[in-house]
Each structure stands twice: as structure tokens, then as C-alpha cells.
Amino acid sequence: MTGFPDAGYFADLQNTQGAYAYRGMFQGADQSCWNTTLSGGTNAACLAANIGDAAWRCLMAEYLTDHIATPMFIMNAAFDVYQVQHILDVGCIPKNCTSTQRAQMEGYRKAFVGESFAHVVNRARAVGHGAYIDSCLVHEQNLDYCGGPGTYNCAGWLTTQVAGMTPQQAYSRWYGGGSRQNLTVDSVATVAPDPGSNPSCPWNFDQGV
């Protein structure tokens, strides 16, 4: 058994105001509607390690990863278009951003591949997690079609490249490998003034509506 979350690794990171607002949304929804943590509706090992007021951590991908024993292949963009809109709340996607907003996006990318993705790295050897993290401004990547201008799910399953590999090639190598450990993370960050400067990405920063 394996897992394949695509564009589902939502980070617990600060917004442009320095607040953990997205975390608060999960906490509020759980208390008022979901009842996931009190009902034991998420990973039991995570809940046992995060009791009481810390149980909200078991609603978010990066903390759940610490307790998931099933090998997973995490596919996500470090500049995931949903996350920079709704977690970072940068307010300028996809174009017309100021230099300050672009710097905030680059800061988000660094935090994503650093502190957030570290949970995957720390468990990869023991569990066999794999990953494909690129610097594209997209959401969802296990597909290869375009629905027209402004479609951010127009992702390059067969065309985007990181370290010379497409998402399809990286996943195939992980799934068919012996240890399955295969972490592919885009080292391309900012070529001023644009974040997400990997030229193989289906969208660059100044395209779109």
C-alpha cells in the first residue's frame, strides 16, 4: 500500500502579517463542525503524541507525516498557487505583485522546503517516502492538460523537470525502486525579480489573468 497526495501538503506557515491564520481555520472548523480530533477521526498515533490543545496538529499534513507508516509520494509545488493565495495571503496572484510581495513568496518557498518539508525528509529513510517538489506556480501536478488561460491545474506531468526528471519519471522511479526513497526538490528559486523561475514550469509568474 502506498499514498500519493498531490497538492495536499498544506503547510503550517505564517501569512504576510506574521499570523498563523490558516492553522486557525483548521482549529475553528474542527471545533464547530468537523469534530475530527475529539472523535479520533485522524491518525491515532498522532493524536496520542499531541494531546489536549495540541491535537489540532493532527489535522495538518506536515505533522501527520511524522506518524504515517505508509510510504507516500508527496507531489507539491513550493509556490503552490492555492497556498500562496490562502496561507501566505500574498494578495497578488498571478501578476502585478510588488517587489515586497515577491520577496514574501520567496520567503514562503524557503520555509516550505525547509521547516515544513523537513517532516518528510526526517521520515523518508525509515518509511520510504518519496517526493517531487518543484518551483512552479501551479496546483495539482499528476495530470497533463490545459483548460484554457488562467488554469492553474495546467500542470506538466510529462513536461515539468526537476533535476532532469518529469513528475511521471520521478514517481515511476520511486514506485518501482527497491527502497522507494527518492526525494526530488527543485533547487531553482528566484531569478530576480520572479519567484518560480524553473523554465519548464507550465506557468511563469507573470502569466495568467
Tell me how many domains the chain contains. 1
Whether pTM > 0.85 for this model: the answer is yes
Q: How deeply is 103 buried, as exposed, middle or buried, from its count of CB atoms within 10 A (0-12, 13-18, 19+)?
A: middle
Residue 3 β-bridge partners: 72
**Structural domain contains residue 91:** yes
**Structural domain contains residue 137:** yes
Tell how strand 130-134 and strand 73-77 pair up.
parallel
Cα 76 from Cα 62, distance rounded (Å): 12
**Structural domain contains residue 16:** no
Query: pLDDT tens, 180-201?
Result: 667 888 876 544 446 656 788 8
- Name the more confident of 152 and 61: 61
> What pLDDT is stored for residue 191 in this prediction?
41
Query: pLDDT tens, 152-179?
Result: 556 678 888 888 889 999 999 899 876 5
Q: Tell me the chain's radius of gyration from C-alpha atoms.
A: 17
Residue 81's domain spans which residues?
Answer: 71-185
Does the structure show a pLDDT above 70 at 205? Answer: no
- DSSP H/E element including 23: helix 21-29
